[in-house]
Amino acid sequence: MTDQMTTQLTQEIRIAASKRRTFAIISHPDAGKTTLTEKLLLYSGMLRTAGMVGARKDRKSATSDWMEMEQERGISITASAMQFPYKDAVINVLDTPGHQDFCEDTYRTLTAADSAIMVIDAAKGVETQTRKLFEVCRLRQIPVLTLINKMDLPGRTPLDLMTEVEEVLGIQASPINWPIGSGREFMGVVNRETRQVLLFTKTAKAGAAKPELETLALDDPSLKSRVPAYIWEELEHDLELLEVAGNPFSKEEFQNGKVTPVFFGSALTNFGVETFFDAFVDMAPHPHARVADLPDGDEQMIEPAEVPFSAYVFKLQANMNPRHRDSTAFMRVCSGKFDRDMVVKHHRTKSDVRLSRPHSMVAKERNTVDVAYPGDVIGIINTGAFQIGDTISLTEGFNYKPLPQFQPEVFARVRPKDTTMRKSFDKGIEQLAKEGAIQIMRSLDGLEFFVGAVGRLQFDVLEFRLESEYRVKSIVDMLPYESSAWLVGDVETFKPPSDALVVKDSQNRAVVLFRSAWSKNFARERNPEHDFNDMG
Of residues 53 and 209, the one with the C-beta less far from ligand G4P: 53
> Which of 92, 109, 149, 407 forms a contact with ligand G4P (CB under 6 A)?
149
C-beta of 102 vs 411, nearer to ligand G4P? 102
Considering the complex, what minimum distance in angstroms separates the CB of residue 74 from ligand G4P?
A: 16
Handedness of CA 209, 215, 218, 220 (dihedral sign): negative
Question: What is the CA 425 to chain-centroid distance, rounded?
Answer: 32
Binder to ligand G4P among 21, 22, 24, 29 (CB under 6 A)? 29
Q: Answer yes or no whether residue 22 interacts with ligand G4P by CB under 6 A.
A: no
Closest CA relative to residue 212, chosen from 228, 191, 188: 188
Q: Which stretch binds ligand G4P (CB under 6 A): 27-35, 128-136, 449-457, 503-511?
A: 27-35
Q: Tell me the backbone φ, ψ of residue 130, rounded to 5 degrees.
A: -60, -40
From the list 17, 22, 32, 327, which residue makes contact with ligand G4P (rule: CB under 6 A)? 32
Give yes or no for residue 399 binding ligand G4P (CB under 6 A).
no
Q: Is 396 exposed, middle or buried (0-12, 13-18, 19+ CB in 10 A)?
A: middle
Cα separation of 80 and 76, whole Å?
6
Which of the ranges 24-32, 175-183, 187-195, 313-321 carries the binding residues for ligand G4P, by CB under 6 A? 24-32
CB-wise, 179 or 374, nearer to ligand G4P? 179
Q: Which 54-73 residues touch ligand G4P, going by CB under 6 A?
A: 56-57
Q: Can you list the alpha helix ranges (DSSP code H) found in 79-151? A: 104-110, 128-139
Q: Please report whether residue 50 would count as binding ligand G4P according to CB under 6 A.
A: no
CB nearer to ligand G4P: give 30 or 499.
Answer: 30
- Distance CA(465)–CA(515), nearest Å, equals 28
Q: Does residue 357 bind ligand G4P (CB under 6 A)?
A: no
Q: Which stretch binds ligand G4P (CB under 6 A): 53-61, 227-235, 421-429, 528-536?
A: 53-61
For residue 299, the tally of other CB atoms under 10 A from its CB is 11
Min separation Cβ 2 and ligand G4P, Å? 50
Select the residue interacting with ligand G4P from 31, 145, 380, 388 (CB under 6 A).
31
> Does position 153 bind ligand G4P by CB under 6 A?
yes
- Compute the least distance from the CB of residue 28 to ligand G4P, in Å: 7
Of the pair 31, 69, the CB lying nearest ligand G4P is at 31
Q: Is 266 in the site for ligand G4P (CB under 6 A)?
A: yes
| Residues that contact ligand G4P, how many (by CB under 6 A) | 18
Residues 6+ apart with CB under 8 A from 305: 10, 11, 13, 14, 17, 335, 336, 374
- What single-letter amino acid sits at 441? M
Taking the complex as a whole, how short is the minimal distance between the CB of residue 146 and ligand G4P, in angstroms? 14
Binding mask 225-264 for ligand G4P (x = CB under 6 A): ----------------------------------------
85 to each of 40, 45, 276, 277, 282, how far by Cα in Å? 10, 9, 16, 12, 14
Among 267, 344, 472, 500, indicate the residue that binds ligand G4P (CB under 6 A). Answer: 267
- CB count within 10 Å of CB 520 equals 19
Candidate list 30, 127, 164, 469; residue touching ligand G4P; CB under 6 A: 30
Cα separations in angstroms, 277 against 23, 58, 146, 280, 375: 12, 27, 11, 5, 18
What SS3 class is residue 51? coil
Cβ nearer to ligand G4P, comparing 56 with 526: 56
Q: Could you tell me where the beta strands, DSSP code E, fall in 319-396?
A: 327-335, 338-339, 343-346, 351-354, 359-362, 365-368, 371-372, 377-382, 391-393
What are φ and ψ of residue 414, in 5° steps? -120, 135
Give percent helix, percent strand, percent coil of the chain, each to the nearest 5. Answer: 30, 30, 40
Q: Which is nearer to ligand G4P, 58 or 341 (CB)?
A: 58
Binds ligand G4P (CB under 6 A): choice among 20, 33, 337, 347: 33
Residue 35 makes contact with ligand G4P by CB under 6 A: yes
Cα–Cα distance for residue pair 341/335, rounded to 1 Å: 17
Shortest distance, position 184 Cβ to ligand G4P, whole Å: 10
State the Cα–Cα distance between residues 485 and 406, nearest whole angstrom: 9
Stretch that binds ligand G4P, among 148-156, 241-249, 334-342, 525-533 (CB under 6 A): 148-156
- Residue 132 engages ligand G4P in binding (rule: CB under 6 A): no
| Nearer residue to ligand G4P within complex by CB, 28 or 346 | 28
Element (H, E) at 420: none
Q: Does 179 bind ligand G4P (CB under 6 A)?
A: no
* Closer of 76 and 149 to ligand G4P (Cβ): 149
User: If we measure between CA atoms, which residue out of 161, 147, 136, 266 comes closest to residue 207?
Assistant: 266
Dmax over Cα atoms in the chain, in whole Å?
83
Element (H, E) at 518: helix 517-526
Instruction: Indicate whether 27 belongs to the interface with ligand G4P (CB under 6 A).
Output: yes
Residues that bind ligand G4P (CB under 6 A): 27, 29-35, 53, 56-57, 149-150, 152-153, 266-268
